[in-house]
């Protein structure tokens, strides 16, 4: 069931356990019941008393009201988070590739190159999870479903073509503003996952998405300003 993904830090690093109590178990059962109504493949979680600790890097921790699935099972949020991330990677990769050929600022090029190679590995992991669970890579096409979680990426072929045609003096600013939009979205997706996802490895992945994007954004803002 567990995808072959890197999990150097288990969920124990992310979340502290707390002894479960009976009311909490009832809540978890209710949550799982509702989740199963939503059509996802959530399975009962053996442990019901977990809560997020304030150990998320440099950010107020998400307030969780649902336990961690220590058996590695996933819920609808885990799936939606990964699908929304999957929708970002291809357009982001095209933007990042343009930076390599069009930017004249070495700092921009270097940051873009590092983001490009790390996101390529992330995408492989995301694909491995979703295909392992028998889920489509594409998110639900209803945009309203995602609007409250940052929206789906707005960078289509038209925007990528426009960036490729940008005047050299405008390229870096256009590129950085497009990528900033992407990375802010990823932070919002990760926050959604950290609030209501249950799969331990995906939660750990969301923590990394949150912290890397939150580190990239200040660098990009300094370059765009």
In the structure encoding, which two tokens stand for residue 103, read together?
Answer: 């930017």
Distances (CA, A) of 124 to 7, 33, 127: 14, 31, 5
Q: Considering only residues 39-98, where is the footprint of another protein by CB under 8 A?
A: 57-60, 63, 65-66, 76-77, 80
- To another protein, the closest distance from the beta carbon of 147 in angstroms equals 4
* Cβ neighbours for 85, distance < 8 A, ≥ 6 positions apart: 122, 126, 186, 189, 209
- To another protein, the closest distance from the beta carbon of 33 in angstroms equals 9
- To another protein, the closest distance from the beta carbon of 102 in angstroms equals 14
Write the interaction track for another protein spanning residues 2-31; mark x where CB under 8 A is met and - where it is not. Answer: ----x-x--------------xx--x--xx
Q: Considering only residues 153-192, where is the footprint of another protein by CB under 8 A?
A: 154-155, 159, 169, 172-174, 176-178, 180-181, 184-185, 187-188
**For residue 108, how many other CB atoms are within 10 A of its CB?**
23
Q: Using CA atoms, how far apart are residues 10 and 200, in angstroms rounded to an integer? A: 7
Q: Considering CB under 8 A, how many residues would be counted as binding another protein?
A: 77
**Minimum CB distance to another protein smaller for 17 or for 59:** 59
Q: Measured in whole angstroms, how far is the alpha carbon of residue 54 from the centre of its chain?
A: 19
């Amino acid at each position: 069931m567990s995808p072959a993904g890197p999990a150097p830090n288990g969920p124990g690093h992310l979340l502290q356990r707390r002894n479960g109590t009976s009311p909490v178990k009832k809540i978890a059962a209710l949550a799982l019941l509702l989740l199963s109504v939503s059509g996802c493949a959530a399975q009962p979680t053996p442990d019901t008393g977990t809560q997020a600790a304030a150990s998320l890097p440099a950010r107020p921790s998400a307030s969780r009201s649902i336990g961690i699935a220590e058996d590695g099972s996933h819920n609808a949020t885990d799936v939606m988070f990964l699908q929304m991330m999957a929708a970002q990677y291809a357009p982001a990769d095209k933007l990042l590739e343009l930076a390599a050929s069009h930017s004249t600022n070495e700092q921009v090029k270097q940051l873009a190159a590092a983001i490009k190679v790390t996101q390529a590995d992330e995408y492989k992991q995301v694909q491995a999870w979703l295909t392992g669970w028998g889920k489509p890579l594409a998110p639900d096409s209803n945009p309203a479903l995602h609007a409250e979680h940052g929206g789906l990426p707005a960078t289509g072929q038209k925007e990528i073509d426009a960036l490729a045609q940008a005047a050299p003096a405008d390229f870096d600013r256009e590129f950085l503003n497009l990528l900033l939009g992407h990375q802010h979205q990823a932070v919002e997706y990760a926050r959604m996952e950290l609030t209501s996802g249950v799969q331990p490895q995906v939660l750990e992945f969301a923590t990394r998405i949150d912290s890397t994007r939150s580190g990239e954004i200040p660098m990009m803002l300094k370059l765009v300003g």
